């Protein structure tokens, strides 16, 4: 985390010195609009146990408004929707355990970022825009679906258990999850950089939550985005 902060500080310092060297800031538009698609790696950090990785994708829209007449400094917001998936075989050794369970978890959430960014001309039609900000997240859907397999000659009590187990679990329901149910709302920070050539953009960002999915479950997001500025 300290290394990331130092890298971003260095980028902002470079951005500032480069911008000050530019005597003409008229090429900095008053408003920047961007539509993006992205890959999202969501990592969950349980207090007890190993990390869990969700791969996913998303689409989003951002708008940045220039707030300085002399510097290419912007404040922006937007909205995006993200889909994240995780598959896991809970038991997969049939030699010792005749029951196998495959769990598929799906999360769908909406995100509202608040950003401060600095758009720096690096070369002709090429810009570097570091940014930092807060992220507000609303979980719209969270589900775990279980597929259970047992041999035909299993004991009757095993068959009864498999037939009665809840194989469709709402991760935000206290009825399904008890005290382990997840929270609908998260809040965190993020930082990153956008590379812009002509009107195409490539973005990298990383952030963590300080309002978590659960008190024992922290999370982080790494995003790679491809966008179009208009």
Q: How many beta carbons lie within 10 A of that of residue 64, not counting itself?
A: 25
Domain that holds residue 55: 2-229
**Length of the chain measured in residues:** 230
pTM of the predicted model, to two decimals? 0.80
Give the helix/strand (H/E) hosting 7. Answer: helix 2-21
Nearest by Cα to 143 from 170, 165, 167, 166: 170
Is 163 exposed, middle or buried, given 0-12, 13-18 or 19+ CB atoms closer than 10 A? Answer: exposed
Number of domains in the chain: 1
The CATH number of residue 52's host domain is 2.40.160.20
| pLDDT of the chain, 230 residues: tens digit per residue | 554 555 455 545 544 544 444 434 557 999 999 999 999 999 999 988 899 999 999 999 999 999 999 999 999 999 999 999 999 877 655 454 566 678 899 999 999 999 999 999 999 999 999 999 999 999 999 999 887 767 666 666 666 656 666 578 999 999 989 999 999 999 999 999 999 999 999 999 999 999 999 999 999 999 999 999 99
Is 174 exposed, middle or buried, given 0-12, 13-18 or 19+ CB atoms closer than 10 A? Answer: exposed
């Amino acid at each position: 985390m300290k290394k990331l902060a130092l890298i971003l500080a260095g980028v902002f310092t470079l951005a500032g010195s480069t911008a000050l060297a530019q005597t003409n800031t008229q090429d900095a538009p008053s408003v920047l609009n961007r539509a993006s698609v992205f890959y999202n790696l969501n990592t969950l950090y349980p207090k007890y146990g190993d990390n869990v990785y969700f791969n996913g994708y998303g689409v989003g829209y951002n708008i940045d408004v220039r707030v300085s007449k002399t510097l290419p400094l912007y404040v922006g917001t937007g909205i995006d929707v993200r889909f994240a998936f995780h598959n896991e075989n809970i038991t997969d050794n049939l030699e010792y355990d005749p029951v196998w369970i495959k769990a598929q978890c799906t999360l769908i959430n909406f995100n509202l970022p608040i950003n401060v960014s600095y758009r720096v001309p690096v070369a002709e039609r090429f810009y570097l825009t570091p940014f930092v900000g807060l992220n507000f997240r609303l979980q719209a859907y969270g589900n775990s679906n279980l597929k259970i397999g047992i041999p035909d000659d299993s004991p009757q009590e095993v068959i009864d258990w498999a037939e009665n187990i809840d194989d469709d679990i709402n991760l935000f329901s206290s009825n399904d999850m008890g005290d382990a149910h997840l929270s609908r709302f998260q809040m965190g920070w993020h930082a990153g950089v956008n590379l812009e050539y002509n009107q195409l953009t490539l973005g990298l960002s990383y952030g963590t939550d300080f309002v978590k999915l659960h008190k024992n479950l922290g999370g982080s997001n790494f995003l790679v985005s491809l966008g179009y500025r208009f």
